[in-house]
């Protein structure tokens, strides 16, 4: 049996501040296959790695990312909220993450807003990481645009409610993968996607029983907040198969 591919959601967010270079490095150390990160654009067009629309939850600052310059974002402390061990950690740019980690891991790059597609594709090409990146979004039109810009990139769409029409709709938007909440995961849906040539990602898979459900349904990717647990379960499951 092929081992499930493990994606560290925002790195290793239970061990280090999410969407920071220390978090991504920790996930890589734990053995994930991919790290997932979120991309937004600042007021001056820089691509920064932040999940929320604002910086309030994950830094010592406040305000909308889209209304801040890169310089203003870089002045923020993105680590102290997690623990003093990470005081002074910065919000990274996408360029910095790709530079720091290189080809040591795969990347699931989630586009949180439209308009960043060209910049993401450009950076991925510059770092020669086209074969290591999956572009992901709930904005299906953004996924289609990325695939038209760079057909070699893999792309994944969020599926809030799986249905029999989902595979056709995902394929119409040039997706290769679909992402489903683990509580919405059903074996019939995974089978349907597989028959249409689509891989399935389940998220957030943070407990043994959730991982076992994914294995039973036949998903290819599992995205987790707890890579320290799921990486080991994935290895054990493959060995026992």
**What is the C-alpha separation between 137 and 120, in angstroms, rounded?**
13
173 in active site: no
9 in active site: yes
Q: Are 76 and 91 in contact (CB under 8 A)?
A: yes
Establish whether the linkage from the previous residue to 92 is cis, with ω within 30° of 0. Answer: no
Instruction: Render 13-62 in DSSP notation, one character per residue.
Output: TTTS-TTSHHHHHHHHHHT-SEEEEEEEE-TTS-EEE-SSSBSTTTSS--
Q: Are 40 and 66 in contact (CB under 8 A)?
A: yes
**What is the C-alpha separation between 192 and 159, in angstroms, rounded?**
14
70's CB contacts (< 8 A; 6+ apart) are: 42, 44, 46, 48, 93
Give the active site residue among 9, 127, 136, 173: 9
Give the active site residue among 51, 127, 136, 181: 51
**What is the C-alpha separation between 8 and 181, in angstroms, rounded?**
15
The catalytic residues are: 9, 51
């Amino acid at each position: 049996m092929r081992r499930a591919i493990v994606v560290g959601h925002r790195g290793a967010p239970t061990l280090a501040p999410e969407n920071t270079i220390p978090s991504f490095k920790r996930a890589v150390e734990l053995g994930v296959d991919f790290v997932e990160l979120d991309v937004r654009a600042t007021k001056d067009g820089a691509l920064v790695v932040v999940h929320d629309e604002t910086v309030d939850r994950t830094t010592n600052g406040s305000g909308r990312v889209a209304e801040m310059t890169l310089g203003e974002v870089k002045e923020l402390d993105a680590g102290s909220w997690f623990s003093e061990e990470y005081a002074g950690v910065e919000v990274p740019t996408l360029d910095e993450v790709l530079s720091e980690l290189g080809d040591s891991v795969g990347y699931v790059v989630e586009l949180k807003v439209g308009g960043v597609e060209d910049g993401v594709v450009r950076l991925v090409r510059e770092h020669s990481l086209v074969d290591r990146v999956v572009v992901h979004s709930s904005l299906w039109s953004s996924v289609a645009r990325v695939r038209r810009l760079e057909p070699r990139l893999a792309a994944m769409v969020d599926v809030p409610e799986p249905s029999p029409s989902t595979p056709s709709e995902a394929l119409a938007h040039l997706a290769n993968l679909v992402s489903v909440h683990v509580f919405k995961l059903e074996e019939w849906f995974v089978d349907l996607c597989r028959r249409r040539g689509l891989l399935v990602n389940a998220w957030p898979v943070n407990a043994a029983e959730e991982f076992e459900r994914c294995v039973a349904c036949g998903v290819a990717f599992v995205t987790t907040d707890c890579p320290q647990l799921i990486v080991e379960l994935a290895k054990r499951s493959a060995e026992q198969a």
